[in-house]
Amino acid sequence: MSEPTCLLRKDRDGATLVLTLDYTARRNALSMPLRTALIGAFEEAEADPAIRAVVITGAGGYFCAGGDISGMNSPDLAAGRQRFAITHRLVRLMIRARLPILAAVEGFAVGAGLSLALCCDTIIAAEDARFGAGFNRIGLIADLGLNHTLPARIGQGRARQILLYPDQLGAAAAERIGLIDHVVAKGTALDAALQRARHFHTAAPLPIAMTRSLLAEGLDQALDRELDLQSALFLTADHAEGREAFLARRSPVFRGV
């Protein structure tokens, strides 16, 4: 299936930039072209002093259903490392940006979608939203910095339950453990996020930028380790089996190779 020309919509609400993932044919899966579009949007926003906050949401009733598994076909180690050089550029831009970022989640935020949400400062979710990792279902570890951001949010013990098991959490359970920040009625997550983002229109920007920089400490070490491990896992037989099983909608048979 070919990708649509426009994968990312950009709108403004005063001093807030609204980024809408618009790859609805794949439930806003985080394909490499979409990641590249996000990089461009964040670089432009960082350079624009009129922008004071960013809200990320998804079209079609979904936030993001994960990575685009159909595009996970790195032929060699160099290709896998290049893929993560692009991905980690996005993660660093989001987590270290001067701009506060809010996620407005409707529907699924799973896999890479969960990682994307946790690169944000505030997560506002509809009451029927669902959250989960599930990377090991395709023979991979969590990526986009999730091994750094998830324990920072909810602690090591709870992070292990999400990273090691396939269970998904509803919005109420996610709020109870601190995975998300606010639960709102279905269909209102974007409006609630925009209202929250307006606080930053008049807030002092320098302390916010410096606070975000302080909270990003340790990110580089986590991403470097993630790059080494995940680019190697892309070449394993288990990942090939997990990817093929997912696309064929069958259960994978992993052999530890």
DSSP string, 5-45: S--EEEEEETTEEEEEE--GGGTT-B-HHHHHHHHHHHHHH
pLDDT at residue 1 in the model: 39
Determine the 3-state secondary structure of 181 from DSSP.
coil
| Ranges of residues in the chain whose predicted pLDDT is under 70 | 1-5, 70-74
| pTM (predicted TM-score) | 0.93
Strand ranges for 35-110 from DSSP E: 53-58, 101-105, 108-110
Alpha carbon distance 129, 246 (integer Å): 22
Instruction: Judge contact between 64 and 27, C-beta under 8 A.
Output: yes
Domains of the chain and any CATH numbers: 8-187 (3.90.226.10)
The three-class DSSP label of residue 57 is: strand
At 58, give phi and psi (nearest 5°).
Answer: -130, 150
pLDDT of residue 3: 47
C-alpha 226/C-alpha 177 separation (Å) is: 25
Q: Which residue has the tokens 């606070």?
A: 211
**Contact of 42 with 50, CB cutoff 8 Å:** no
